[in-house]
Each structure stands twice: as structure tokens, then as C-alpha cells.
Amino acid sequence: MLDFFHARVLASALTLSASLACLTGCTTITSHEPLPISLAGTQWELVAIQSMDDAQGTTRIDEPDRITASFAVDGRASLRLDCNRGTASWEATPSADGSSGTLRFGPIAATRAMCPPPHLDERVVRDLAYARSYLFKDGKLFISLMADGGTYEWRPARQ
């Protein structure tokens, strides 16, 4: 039979052991840091071009799958530009939370076939040379041009 002292020690040890088991087995470690977001490995379809000039307004793209951008992990971008194709280098520096950052394209090399109207291929090639930042918002990609040149709105490409 246990004396009072040993019974108290045993009871304390069992309580401590149960508490430690619950702490190690019952707790969930959560991270408050957002998952990293990257352009690398993503594909997008252009849905709208918003001008900062009210006279031009917003150009909606009737067939978003005709103007696409794919960002390869090796720093190359592949573009579908209506009936043309293009390629360029790209470089992005994400912000601390990964939801936005700076974006630059190298010179865009593109084919020059005459696409039937309405065609935006030449405008897209010209404008993306002035890309300066990106933002992921509501499942879309927004690329802003320098000097209030406008914003390109993209949705994930349909596979």
C-alpha cells in the first residue's frame, strides 16, 4: 500500500504525464504566414484592358483564350497574341506577402501575321514592354503599366 506522500507524487506524475500528452498530441501548430504566391508556372487569359484615360475606358476581350500568357519557371514567357505567337523573358520580385510585386518583361519577339479585326496583338506587345507591377486579387492577375498607362486583367487559363 502506498503512503500518503508517494500517492500524491504518483497522482502528480500522472496528471503531468496526461497534460504533456494532451499538449503534444492535441495542439495544432498554425502558421500565420501566407503561402507563397508566384507567377512561375502559371497561365493566364486576358479578359480586359483598363485605360487610365476615361475617354478610352475599359476594353473587354470577347475571346480571352485568344490572348494568353504563360510564365515558365525558367524566366521565359510564352504569349498567344490572337493569331500570332510571342516570347520574352520575365522577372518578378514579390512583395513580403507574395500577393503583389514588381514585374518586368524583356523584349518581346512576336510573329507578325495580319490577324482579322478586332486585333489587339500589337497593342499587347507594345504595352507589356511597360509592365511594372502585378497583383493577385480575387483569383485574377492584374498587371499595371508604368506612368498610369493602364491595367491588364487576366484570369487563370482554362486547361
Q: Which domain holds residue 11?
A: 1-30
Positions in the chain whose pLDDT score sits under 50: 1-36
pLDDT at residue number 113 = 94
Q: What is the pLDDT of residues 136-150, one digit of tens each?
A: 999 999 999 998 899
HEC letters along the chain: CCCHHHHHHHHHHHHHHHHHHHHHHHCCCCCCCCCCCCCCCEEEEEEEEECCCCCCCEEECCCHHHEEEEECCCCEEEEEECCEEEEEEEEEEECCCCCEEEEEECCCEECCCCCCCCCCHHHHHHHHCCEEEEEEECCEEEEEEHHHCCEEEEEECCC
Q: What is the pLDDT of residues 48-57, one digit of tens each?
A: 999 988 778 8
pLDDT at residue number 119 = 85
pLDDT at residue number 37 = 74
**Domain harbouring 69, CATH code:** 2.40.128.270
Identify whether 35 is part of a domain: no
* Structural domains in the chain (count): 2
Q: Are residues 91 and 14 part of one domain? A: no
pLDDT at residue number 31 = 36
Q: Are residues 49 and 93 part of one domain? A: yes
